[in-house]
Structure 1
Amino acid sequence: MKEIDIRPIAEADFDAVWRIFQDILATGEQYPFDDASREACRAYWYGTGVKTWVAVLNGERLLGMYRLVPNQADRGSHVASASYMVGPAAQGVGVGKLLGRHSLEQARRDGFLAMQFNYVVSTNVAAVVLWKQLGFAIVGTLPKAYRHQKLGYVDVYVMYRLLDDPNNWPL
């Protein structure tokens, strides 16, 4: 039986993370990076203040990952932000949904009160649909803010959801 576990990232995961990172960036369809270095990849997923989790199949094969960070410093630090990547061979089978649900639970555990995605490419329909299914709303549109590798300039969405009723938030 296949089992997908989500666990904190380990140093031993880096080569698999690097491969997924390269595969996703090569499409030019989702992330603003052109061709990031191994060092940039490491800083993105392992950097100071970054909490990263990986989805692993049967304890061996890394399928995808997400990173969780405060969206802003200080007075905005109660709002989380997250980024996700799923390897091309694992897309379309629910890994993104597992990572998304886990990230919402983890954000709550970490004391975040809301989550915001600052840069969801509008043509990434699978991501937009998934985030809406998980309770996010499009709260803003950035016209032509992303230079898509195949489609040219396309819109970007800012998506947001509360993680708890604001009436329960601490002062």
Structure 2
Amino acid sequence: MQVRRASAADWPRIWPLWHRVVSTGETYMSAPDTDRETAAGVWLLPPPAAIFVAEDGSDVVGTALLKPAQPGLGDHVANAAFMVDPDRAGQGIGRRLAEHVLDAARALGYTAMQFNAVVSTNTAAIALWTSLGFDVLATIPGAFRHARLGPVAIHVMFREL
């Protein structure tokens, strides 16, 4: 598996994964019926954002978006979003992608990383982030309308780089 920086030219291979993950309504705030063009506008942000893909041969098995958490005086803290092919869960793709993005964030001068909305029922993601040194700073009850479970909490997670 290789992790590399992606470009807009990779979107046709990222989109099926993005759509598959978001359409479940279980882990991302984006509407499950988000169309391809809108999704591209959400994921393919201009610099200073950076998009990454994890590839296994010609297959995109994961993707990540790294960006400043806030503009201006908050741009030293990174925010990131990650997606892994559900059929490949548990194979270390998320960890490899996360480690690559954390290294990239450090190289780009970020001093910390925060996640604003880790869905509390996404136990695999929470376990990964905790194992990589992230702490839950806050829990917001009922902030996510889970497609199967109804309102569930989200966590704000953070770590210094």
**Superposition TM-score, scaled by structure 2 size:** 0.95
Q: Which runs of no fewer than 5 residues in structure 2 stay unpaired?
A: none
State whether residues 13 and 62 of structure 1, in contact with CA within 8 Å, keep that contact through their aligned partners in structure 2: no
1:126 aligns with 2:89: no
Match of 1:87 in 2: 85
Match of 2:137 in 1: 139
1:43 aligns with 2:41: yes
1:30 aligns with 2:27: yes
CA distance in 2, matches of 1:29, 1:155: 12
- Report the number of matched residues: 159
The offset of 1:45, in angstroms, is 2.2
CA distance in 2, matches of 1:157, 1:135: 15
The offset of 1:11, in angstroms, is 3.5
The offset of 1:102, in angstroms, is 0.7
SS of 1:28's partner is: coil
AA in 2 matched with 1:79: V
SS of 2:30's partner is: coil
CA distance in 2, matches of 1:10, 1:137: 31
Match of 1:166 in 2: none
AA in 2 matched with 1:98: R
SS of 1:92's partner is: coil
Match of 1:168 in 2: none
Moved over 3 A (4+): none
The offset of 1:22, in angstroms, is 1.1
SS of 1:159's partner is: strand
SS of 1:48's partner is: coil
SS of 2:109's partner is: coil
CA distance in 1, matches of 2:9, 2:89: 22
Superposed counterparts of 1:97-112, under 5 Å: 97-112=95-110
Superposed counterparts of 1:52-71, under 5 Å: 52-58=51-57, 60-71=58-69
CA distance in 2, matches of 1:122, 1:41: 23
**Superposition TM-score, scaled by structure 1 size:** 0.90
Q: Is the deviation greater in 62-71 or in 41-50?
A: 41-50
State whether residues 81 and 115 of structure 1, in contact with CA within 8 Å, keep that contact through their aligned partners in structure 2: yes
The offset of 1:44, in angstroms, is 2.0
AA in 2 matched with 1:21: W
Instruction: Let me know the Cα RMSD of the aligned residues.
Output: 1.0
The offset of 1:91, in angstroms, is 1.5
The offset of 1:38, in angstroms, is 1.1
